[in-house]
Amino acid sequence: MNTPMSMLTTRGRVLPFSEKERTEEETGTLESSLLQLIEDNRRSSLQLREKTERSKKEAIRHAARTADLLVKAVNGGVEECFVNEKRIEAEIRSLAVTVARFGKQTDQWLAATHAVNSAVKEIGDFENWMKTMEFDCKKITAAIRNIHEDH
């Protein structure tokens, strides 16, 4: 029954002795349940940590792969620009040589043209000289004839 000795306090209330036994059984069950919950929580935390670590490693691998692909894509463009730059520089050197050659050829043509012009001018001058000489000779011939006829 409920005697003061057989009464125990549980959360501020006094329990009879039979309830104490039941509470100890419940406490054992409660303790094992709590231990089981703690163990389950520890296991699930460990699994979650492992899964997180795997996901982290996988994300790092994917990021590294993406970075490699981006570097290859950028380097491909840079390499193409470098090759094009070298090709353009070679073409510029070739064009500079061609321009210099054409410049020399143009100077030669100008010199030849001036020579021809001078020759034509001299021919023209010679022709004028010849005409002048012919006119002078005709004058002299006419004067000699006049002199000869007068005598």
Over residues 75-130, the pLDDT tens digits come to 878 888 899 999 999 999 999 999 999 999 999 999 999 999 898 888 888 888 88
Read off the DSSP letter of residue 12: T
Confidence (pTM): 0.41
Per-residue pLDDT tens digits for 34-46:
999 999 999 999 9
Burial class (CB in 10 A: 0-12, 13-18, 19+), 85: exposed
| Secondary structure class of 6 (helix, strand, coil) | coil
